[in-house]
Amino acid sequence: MAQYVRNNAWNNGGTFDNKDLYWYARGVEAMMARPIADSASWWFYAAIHGEYANPNTPWYPRPAAFPGWSFIQGTPQVPTTPLPDSATMDLYWNQCQHGSWYFFPWHRGYLMSLETQLRADIVAAGGPDTWALPYWNYFGGQGGSQSQMPPAFAAETLPEGTPNALFVTMRYGPDGDGNIYVPCPPKYPTGPINAKAMKNDLFTGSDAVTRPPGFGGPQTTFAHNGSPHGNFESNPHDLVHGYVGGQPGPSDAIYGIMGDPGTAALDPIFYLHHCNIDRMWEAWNDQGNSNPTVSSWTNGPSRQFAMPTASGKPWNYTPGDVSTLANLDYSYESLGIEDAPQAPKTQPALTLAKRLETLGASPEASNASLEAAASTAPRKTELLGASPTALKLSKTPIEITVALDASTRKAAEVSLLKASVSALPDKAYLRLENVSGIYDATILGISVSTPESGGSYLVGHVALFGLRRATVSDGQHGGEGLSFILDITPFIDELHLNNALNADAVKVAIVPDKPLPDGTEVTIGRVSIYREAF
C-alpha cells in the first residue's frame, strides 16, 4: 500500500478547509523564505524546470525585460541574486523535458522531489507527516465545476490573516481578468481543451488510431526545448498552461507566469496541474496501454536527470525508475476523468470500427481483427502539399491556400473508397512547421476548408508554450522553433463522403486567440499537409 495519497484539491470546496491546501501554502511559504541559491528554496526548484534568472543563458531577454524574473510584477517577489555557482546551475537548472518521450517521467521525478522538500517543511511547521501534493482535476466536478481554479489560490491571505503564498499576481486566466478556469468539457462542451489523447493506444509513433508523435511524445535525446510535443502534452497540458497564465490586455507584452516554461514553476498552481497530468498518465497505463520498454527510454538520455536532496548529493533517476506507481510511495485518491471515462482496452478497435462504418466499409470484421488493425503502423508518409513561403502572424488572422498534389490526393481518395479492415484508409495531418517568436502566451485556433466549400472545419488549438526557448539557438538546438501536428482526417473523410475530395487545394485559417502585442509577431515557417498510408 502506498505511503502517501495525493488527493483532489477540490475536496472541502477547494478552500483552506482542505488541509492539503492549507499545509501546501505553509510549505511554499517556508521554501519562499530561502534565497535562490539554496537548493531547498522555491526559486531554486522553479529554476530546475526553467528560468530567466541567469542573464547569461541564450534565452534571457535582451535588452533585459519580462519574462526576466526581475521583471515579474506583484506577488511573489522573486529574488534573482546571488545566483548559485555555475556548476550547480549547469547540473540542476533548465532540465524540463518538452517535446520528448521523457516528458512524463521527468516531471514525475520532479514532483516527487519537490513534494519531499515541502513535506519536510510542513512537518517542521507542525503539519502532518502524511501530507502529499493535491491535484487539480479540471475535468471533474458536477457539471464540470472543478474547471475553476480552487478558491484557496485566489485568496490573498491565510485564515490567520498572514499572506497566502499560493496567491500570484501575474495569473490572468482565459479572459485576462484574473478569473482562472480551464475551458474544457463538461462545463465548456466546445472548449479548446479536452482529454481526447487518452484514447491513444501508442506512447511514441503513430498507428491507425493514434496520430503522430504519439501519446507520450517523440523519441528524443535530452530535450529541454523539443518539438513536436506529444499528443497529451499538446492537449491538455500546453493549453492549460496558456489559458491559466493568460494575458492582461492586447497592448501588454507581458503574460501570466504559467504561460512560459521559464516562469511557470514559480506559480504554485503549476504543481497541481502537473499532479493531474501525472495522474492521467497513470490512468492511461491503467487502461492497458504500455510505456516504452526499449533501453533508450527506460535508461534515459546520456545527460542524467538530477534533483537536489537534503544530503547535498543529487538524486539521479531514469524513466524506468518512475514508470509505474506500483514501485513508488504514492497513489491518487482517484484515477477517474469525467471528460474521458476510463476507456476499455478495446477502445482502439471501437475507434477504428466507427471510422470504417462512417466510410461505408463492411461491418463484418471481428473484434480480434479490428484490434490487430488498430495497431497497424503506417507504411509510408507522403506530402500532399505545402505553403510556398513563410507566414507572419500578428494582430489579425491569416489564411493560406495549400495546393494539393493531384496524384497524391488521388491515392488518398482511392484508399477511402476501398476502406476495410484489411485495407485501412489513409489518415491526413496538418503541420505547422518551424513556428518562431518570443510570446509564449499565444494560442492559435486552426481551421481548414476548401475553396469550393461554404463552411470551415475547426481542427483544434495549439499553445505556443516554450516558443521563446525553441526559437533561440542554445548550443544543443539550432533554434528551429516549435512544430505542431494536427489531425485533419475527419475533414478529409467528410470531403470524401460529400464527393468533394477532388479539390485542388485546402485553405488553412490561423486565428490568434487574442491579438498579439506590438513587437511579438510569430513566424510560421511552413504549413504542410501529409497523408499516412497503411
The per-residue pLDDT for 205 is 98
Task: Tell me the per-residue pLDDT of 459-477, one tens digit each, with 9 for 90 and over.
Answer: 999 999 999 999 998 755 6
Query: Cis peptide before 67, with omega less than 30 degrees from 0?
Result: yes
The per-residue pLDDT for 436 is 96
Q: Is the pLDDT of residue 341 over 60?
A: no
Closest CA to 84 of 32, 48, 34, 38: 38
The per-residue pLDDT for 337 is 82
CA distance 460 to 481: 20
**DSSP structure string for 119-186:** HHHHHHTT--TT----B--TT-SGGGGGGBPPGGGT-SB-TTSSB-TT--SS---TTSSS--B---TT
Q: Are the beta carbons of 172 and 241 closer than 8 angstroms?
A: no
> Mean pLDDT score of the chain, rounded to an integer?
95
**338 within some domain:** no
Q: How far, in Å, are 5, 49, 72, 362, 441 from residue 263 at the CA level? A: 28, 9, 9, 53, 12
Closest CA to 315 of 36, 48, 27: 48
Q: Are the beta carbons of 338 and 283 closer than 8 angstroms?
A: no
- Between residues 309 and 451, which one has the greater pLDDT? 309
Q: Are residues 149 and 13 in the same domain?
A: yes
Task: Tell me the per-residue pLDDT of 23-64, one tens digit each, with 9 for 90 and over.
Answer: 999 999 999 999 999 999 999 999 999 999 999 999 999 999
Q: Is the pLDDT of residue 138 over 60?
A: yes
| β strands within 290-346, DSSP E | 305-307, 315-317, 330-332
CA distance 247 to 110: 27
Q: What is the pTM of this model?
A: 0.97
Cell representation of residue 20: 492539503
The per-residue pLDDT for 476 is 57
Q: Are residues 17 and 160 in the same domain?
A: yes
Structurally, the chain folds into a number of domains equal to 3
CA distance 488 to 12: 42
Handedness of CA 105, 106, 107, 112 (dihedral sign): positive
- Burial (Cβ within 10 Å: 0-12, 13-18, ≥19) of residue 364: exposed
- Ranking 347-356, 414-423, 479-488 by mean pLDDT, the lowest is 347-356
- In the chain, the amino acid numbered 338 is E
Q: Are residues 356 and 319 in the same domain?
A: no
Task: Tell me the per-residue pLDDT of 355-397, one tens digit each, with 9 for 90 and over.
Answer: 999 999 876 778 889 999 999 999 999 999 999 999 999 989 9
Instruction: Check which CATH number belongs to the domain holding 518 and give it.
Output: 2.60.120.230
Distance from the Cα of residue 413 to its chain's centroid: 33
Q: Hunting for cell 482562472 — which residue is that? A: 180
Task: Tell me the per-residue pLDDT of 224-270, one tens digit each, with 9 for 90 and over.
Answer: 988 899 999 999 999 999 999 999 987 789 999 999 999 999 999 99
Q: Are the beta carbons of 146 and 10 closer than 8 angstroms?
A: yes
The per-residue pLDDT for 344 is 58
Q: Are residues 364 and 402 in the same domain?
A: no
| DSSP, res 8 | B
- For 94-118, what is the mean pLDDT? 98
The per-residue pLDDT for 366 is 82
The per-residue pLDDT for 475 is 52
Percent of the chain predicted with pLDDT > 70: 97
CA distance 80 to 506: 49
Q: Are residues 123 and 225 in the same domain?
A: yes
Q: Is the pLDDT of residue 149 over 70?
A: yes
Instruction: Check which CATH number belongs to the domain holding 89 and give it.
Output: 1.10.1280.10
Q: Are residues 419 and 310 in the same domain?
A: no
The per-residue pLDDT for 473 is 83
Q: Are residues 141 and 47 in the same domain?
A: yes
Q: Are the beta carbons of 137 and 146 closer than 8 angstroms?
A: yes
Q: Are residues 58 and 165 in the same domain?
A: yes
**415 within some domain:** yes
The per-residue pLDDT for 1 is 67
Q: Hunting for cell 485553405 — which residue is that? A: 507
Percent of the chain predicted with pLDDT > 90: 90
**337 within some domain:** no
The residues that bridge with 509 in the sheet, in sequence order, are 399, 447
Rg (CA), the chain: 23
**391 within some domain:** yes
394: Cβ contacts below 8 Å, ≥ 6 apart: 515, 516, 520, 521, 522
- In the chain, the amino acid numbered 370 is L
The last residue of a domain, from among 332, 360, 386: 332
CA distance 107 to 335: 18
Q: Are residues 323 and 362 in the same domain?
A: no
Q: Are residues 370 and 435 in the same domain?
A: no
- For 301-310, what is the mean pLDDT? 97
- For 100-122, what is the mean pLDDT? 98
**43 within some domain:** yes
CA quadruple 359, 362, 368, 371: dihedral, nearest 10: -10
At 223 the three-state DSSP class reads coil
**339 within some domain:** no
CA distance 247 to 256: 6
Q: Are residues 328 and 370 in the same domain?
A: no
The per-residue pLDDT for 455 is 83
Q: Which domain holds residue 101?
A: 4-332
Q: Are residues 112 and 182 in the same domain?
A: yes
H, E, C per residue of 470-522: HHCCCCCCCCCCEEEEEECHHHHHHHHHCCCCCCCEEEEEEEECCCCCCCCCE
